[in-house]
Amino acid sequence: MAAITSIPVSPPPLSILKILQQPRSLIVLVLLMWLPLMLNVMLAGSISETVRPYLLLPAIPSALILYGVGVLSWRESPIAIIGLTLIFFWLIVAVSVPFLPLVDPNKPIAPFAPIGAVKNNHYFILGADFKGRDMLARTLWGCQRVLVWGVTATLVAYLVGCIFGLVAGYLGGWWDQVISFIANVLLSFPVMVLFILIMNYLGASGFNIVIAVTFASAPAIMRIVRGLTFDTKNRDYIFAAQTRGEHPLRIMIYELLPNARGPIIVDACLRLGYTTVAITTLTFLGLGLQPPDPDWGLMIKEAANVAKSPQFAYMLLIPALSVSSLILGFNLIADGLREMSLRD
Amino acid sequence: MLKLIASRLLQMVLIMGVVSALLFFIFDSDKFKKQIAVAELGGFAVSALSDQDYQNWLERKGLNVPFYERYAKWVGGILTGDLGKSYQTNEPVATLVADRLKKTGILGFWVFALMIPLSLTFGIIAGMKEGSAQDRITSFISIVTTSLPEIATAVILMSIFALWLRWLPANSAMVGGWNWLALVLPVMTLVLYDFGYVARMTRASMAEVMTSQYIRTAILKGLPYKRVILRHALRNALIAPFTIIVLQMNWLLSGVVVVEFFFQYAGFGKLLLDAALFGDIYVIQAATLVAVFVAVLSQIISDVGYSFLNPRIRFS
């Protein structure tokens, strides 16, 4: 890939879409969107008040451009486009929510105001929760934490899983024995049991969710990468690289990993969905993200005791449907990608 | 075959040994001892406790000895069937876990009894003709239901059937005695989530078999379509779903935690969560080991079953 794009002979004129589709510009756009969002959620307390309002500004156009590029490059798969639309709806909401005309999501206004009510000079489009906080503001703000922690946790789990998978698959022998045994021990736990034990031991916080998800997901990722490495390591280009005298580390990262990327990307999309489920569930069980900042799992947890009556069911249904739409988005993208890879 | 089973069982014992030692080590920290003290005596009483009194309390609870001594004693206890006592309720752990496991067993039985026929039927019908209308509809339904996490399914089902239609109770704590109606919502939640995954896997397996040479031969030979499906295709198409269904036992132990907590059903998942939040070491130990045991056992059954059902694996 890199060899093709860096040929020095005069390149044909590129359309804007082609330029944006290049890995380099995609990476820049993703970073422009992701870094401000991540800083905004993870280091919320330590950013000075003068910078904070402008932090997310560059992320909004980047998210919109990325969505456009995604739709144009996946034209052949309507399923993937529906999934992409769902994900980017929440991503765009996440980066633009400070600029939307919403009230403070933590401010109590009118407890138990139903959907569409006007109380205390405020129009409740989606009603208010039991403390009187605006449900619309809480739902829209709630997507930030799930997205940031979910994607971060999945990325870290992938990093760890890929490293161990490559080492176990490529080096084999003792490395493989030891790594596989540790993975087997971790895989013999039901996922939720492992989550409960780790979160209980470490304490409830976003960073600890990343650790727990890594422990729970990395063994499965390691197995997939190990299997893919076993398949590819006897190919001629690997022998060629070995004969050239390349370092094993270089072979793993530059030769093996890029050739195993197809199944890994599909699995990553599914795993993003699982991680979103895990974070919401952990928060619901009281082991994940902590109040008062809005989060979907937290909204369900807080409303579960008071909203068990027909007219207040919206307090539970709105966050439940929001989180489902996000997970549906990840699953549809995975499905669409798999379909597209089968077609090629 | 026997060698395979024996080596897997040995591995299971090894894993359970590692896990239980690790748990004893983890829950030996001062933080957890304090947590138990706070849960039992109250936060104020603990902060007023003098160092000497705290040491006395630890001694009374048997928590002052190093973890490996407690571990050795605990392992010795297992051999005589004694799993220790719960710090929370002072009940013997063995009866507590057995009672809760029975409740979760009933839940799990109904989940599997409904999920297996449902997902197999849909998966087979979808896989018979790839790309047909029935395939597309089944795929769509299954992708939507798997995308709804248990917590969302629980909320949606409870709102519809318990709050708006008032057919079923919203709470499954069953304080007034056993109530079958209260079991319906937890079972439905788990079935709905799991149905999609198993149906998709069955569909993939069925679709693969339907493209194989021997099915084409059977059809071209002029056999009735029904016979081709029932006698020829299903035999091979159901091997993969079998292993997947057995492995769902592992998933079920995760799923029940959420569902039992949401519906307040006093089963194994709720026991584990409550014990973890309380720091009830012996209950966590027993519950985790049971969970690991069931999970590993299901892995062994699925491996052995697979090689038993698939002669290509057995004889190679």
Residue A280 lies in a domain: yes
The region, left, alpha or beta by phi > 0 then psi within -120 to 50, assigned to residue B174 is: left
Report pLDDT for B232.
Answer: 84
Tell me whether B151 touches chain A (CB under 8 Å): yes
Tell me the two tokens of residue A103.
């009230």
Number of domains in chain A: 1
Cβ-Cβ contacts under 8 Å, A185 against chain B? 15, 18-19
What range defines the domain where residue A194 resides? 142-343
Residue A327, pLDDT score: 93
- Subunit contact B148:A190, Cβ cutoff 8 A: no
**How far is it, in rounded angstroms, from Cα B104 to Cα B106?**
5
Q: What is the mean pLDDT of chain B?
A: 83
Judge whether A216 lies within some domain: yes
Can you tell me the mean pLDDT for A272-285? 90
Rounded Cα distance between A8 and A16, Å, is: 20
Pairwise CA distance, residues A312 & A307, whole Å = 5
pLDDT at residue A154 in the model? 94
Q: Which of B115, B252, B260 is nearest to B182 (CA)?
A: B260
pLDDT digits (tens, 9 = 90+) for A26-65: 888 888 888 888 888 887 777 777 777 778 888 888 889 8
Among the partner-chain residues B149, B294, B295, the one whose CB lies closest to the CB of A280 is B149
Q: Could you write out the DSSP letters of every residue in A300-342?
A: HHHHHTT--SGGGTHHHHHHHHHHHHHHHHHHHHHHHHHHHHH
Q: Is B302 helix (H, G, I), strand (E, B) or coil?
A: helix
Angstrom distance (rounded) from CA A319 to CA A312? 13
Predicted confidence at residue B177, as pLDDT, reads: 72
Q: Are A190 and B295 in contact (CB under 8 A)?
A: yes
What are the C-alpha distances in Å from A242 to residues A172, A230, A235, A246, A252? 16, 16, 11, 6, 11
Asked if the structure places residue A329 within a domain, the reply is: yes
Nearest to A142 by CA among A318, A332, A333, A341: A318
DSSP A155: H
State the pLDDT confidence band at A220, using cuts at 50, 70 and 90: very high
| Residue A4 confidence (pLDDT) above 60 | no
Cβ proximity of B282 and B93 under 8 Å: yes
**A273-287: average pLDDT:** 89
Query: Is A193 part of any domain?
Result: yes
DSSP string, B132-190: SHHHHHHHHHHHHHHHS-HHHHHHHHIIIIIIIS--S-S----TTS--THHHHHHHHHH
Q: Is-contact A133 A109, C-beta < 8 A?
A: yes
Of A99, A205, A87, the C-alpha closest to A143 is A87
Encoded tokens for B25: 């080590």
- Give residue A13's pLDDT band: very low, low, confident or very high (50, 70, 90): low
Distance between CA A72 and CA A36 in Å, rounded? 25
B-chain residues near A197 (CB < 8 A):
23, 26, 276, 284, 288
The per-residue pLDDT for A23 is 80
The pLDDT value recorded for residue A81 is 93
Q: Is residue A123 part of a domain?
A: no
Interface test with A, best of B155, B161, B256 (most A CBs within 10 A): B155
In terms of C-beta distances under 8 Å and separation of at least 24 residues, what long-range contacts does B164-168 make, across chains too? B164/A310, B164/A313
CATH number at residue A203: 1.10.3720.10
pLDDT score for A133:
84
Nearest CA in chain A to B170: A308
Beta carbons of B241 and B116 less than 8 angstroms apart: no
Which chain B residues touch A296 with a CB distance below 8 Å? none
Number of A/B CB contacts below 8 angstroms equals 119
The dihedral through the CA atoms of B42, B47, B49, B52 has a sign that is positive
Measured in whole angstroms, the distance separating CA B89 from the mean position of its chain's CA atoms is 24
For residue B211, the 8-state DSSP code is: T
Identify the closest residue of chain B to A310 by CA–CA distance.
B163
Q: Dihedrals φ, ψ of A65, to 5°? A: -65, -45
Phi, psi of B274 (to 5 degrees): -60, -45
Interface test with B, best of A188, A300, A326, A332 (most B CBs within 10 A): A188
Nearest to B186, CA basis, from B268, B270, B264: B264
Answer yes or no: is A107 within a domain: no
Judge if pTM exceeds 0.90: no
- A193–B149 C-beta distance less than 8 A: no
B 65-104 → A contacts, CB under 8 A:
none
Residue A169's nearest CA partner among A250, A224, A220 is A224
pLDDT given at position B313: 63
In one-letter notation, the amino acid at residue A122 is H
Find residues 234-263 of chain B whose CB sits inside 8 Å of chain A.
250-251, 253-255, 257-258, 261-262
> How many Å apart are CA B94 and CA B82, to the nearest integer?
7
Residues of A in contact with B273 (CB under 8 A): 196, 285
Give B201 to chain A, closest Cα distance, Å. Answer: 13
Decide: helix, strand or coil at residue A117: coil
Collect contacts of B172-177 with beta carbons under 8 A, ≥24 apart.
B172/B263, B172/B264, B172/B265, B173/B263, B173/B264, B173/B265, B173/B266, B174/B265, B174/B266
Identify all chain B residues contacting A280, using CB atoms and an 8 Å cutoff: 149, 151
Q: Which residues of chain B have pLDDT under 70?
A: 43, 313-316
Tokens at A70, concatenated: 């995604």
* Residue A29 domain-assigned (yes or no): no
Strand A122-123 relative to strand A118-119, pairing:
antiparallel
Torsion angle in degrees (nearest 10) through CA of A215, A274, A167, A230: 140
Residue A97 has pLDDT above 80, yes or no: yes
Interface residue of A77, A189, A295 to substitute, partner B, most B CBs within 10 Å: A189
Q: Is the pLDDT of residue A1 over 70?
A: no
Q: Which DSSP string corresponds to A6-66?
A: T--SPPPPPPHHHHHHSHHHHHHHHHHHHHHHHHHHHTGGGS-TTTHHHHTTTHHHHHHHH
Cα–Cα distance for residue pair B230/B238, rounded to 1 Å: 11
Residue A86 lies in a domain: no
- pLDDT tens for each residue of B199-213: 988 988 888 888 888
Tokens of B174: 């069953």
Distance CA A327, CA B143 (A): 10
